Amino acid sequence: MNALTGEALEAARAKAQAEYRSLRARKGRLDDDSLDLILREARSHYAWTDRPVPRETLEAIYQITAAGPTSMNTCPARFVFVTTDAGKERLAPALKPANKPKMMGAPVTAIIAHDLEFWTHLPFLFPHEDRRHLFEGKAAHIEATAFRNATLQGAYFMIAARALGLDVGAMSGFDNAAVDAAFFAGTSLRSNFLCNLGYADETALFQKLPRFDFDAVCSFA
């Protein structure tokens, strides 16, 4: 563990606060087109063009995703980018039949997973206090924390991809155990969901499905 202390800590805090105030002064909120792009008018896609997604874009998506908040900065998500024919052939048997062509046609399919040994990295990720004791030997707590926070990171990942101009199509219609056996055997990683990435063929889109109104699902206490 290598936490800042004393004057170095105070300087780091002051710098972080100043940078945030500067950001908020420059950009108080996203414009409407940006909100439409990442969520309001964004769509889940099922068909893809053959335009490739370069590694640099995937790295940029990850860097944005990694900046998103997780509990105690646990960062349990792990990402496997399936881009090769061999990788897709390994993944295909785990998918429901209707989802196989969606995956096979996408330039990239990301396996969004979580690491059940995330807590062993806390001295690096949360250096000012050793909190490994909160997880050691507590399998249910480890699983719940990993799943919850990696799911959050998966959502950040999708928004980041859209923000950088890609289209996404998340999928849960697959056998998690089969994916884990094919990609994570002998490791502490477990799959959560899949996310196809690329540049969509929008001719496959259909009308947007309904959403609940505010008063149907929101309340105050």
pLDDT digits (tens, 9 = 90+) for 6-21: 999 999 999 999 999 9
- DSSP assignment of 30-64, as one string? --HHHHIIIIIS--B---B-S----HHHHHHHHHH
pLDDT at 1 over 80: no
pLDDT attached to residue 187: 98
User: Which of 76, 70, 97 is closest to 175 using CA atoms?
Assistant: 97
- DSSP assignment of 153-203, as one string? HHHHHHHHHHHTT-EEEEE--B-HHHHHHHH-TTSSEEEEEEEEEE-B-GG
- d(CA 168, CA 43) in angstroms, rounded, equals 8
pTM: 0.95
Domains of the chain (ranges; CATH) run 43-203 (3.40.109.10)
CB 110 within 8 A of CB 157: yes
167-171 and 189-198 beta bridge pairing: antiparallel
- d(CA 46, CA 206) in angstroms, rounded, equals 10
Share of the chain above pLDDT 70, in %: 100
CB 112 within 8 A of CB 193: yes
The angle that helices 55-66 and 139-163 make with each other, rounded to 10 degrees, is 130
One-letter amino acid for residue 63 of the chain: Q
CB 193 within 8 A of CB 78: no
pLDDT attached to residue 60: 98
In this structure, what token pair is assigned to residue 56? 């640099």
- The string of pLDDT tens digits covering residues 73-85 is 999 999 999 999 9
- The string of pLDDT tens digits covering residues 37-74 is 999 999 999 999 999 999 999 999 999 999 999 999 99
pLDDT band for position 199 (cuts 50, 70, 90):
very high
Reduced to 3 states, what is the DSSP secondary structure of residue 80?
strand
User: Across the strands, what pairs with 170?
Assistant: 195
pLDDT band for position 191 (cuts 50, 70, 90):
very high
pLDDT band for position 143 (cuts 50, 70, 90):
very high
DSSP 48: B
Share of the chain above pLDDT 90, in %: 97
Name the phi and psi angles at 215, rounded to 5: -70, -15
- d(CA 174, CA 4) in angstroms, rounded, equals 44
- The string of pLDDT tens digits covering residues 149-180 is 999 999 999 999 999 999 999 999 999 999 99
User: Which of 2, 101, 95 is closest to 46 using CA atoms?
Assistant: 101
End-to-end CA distance of the chain: 41
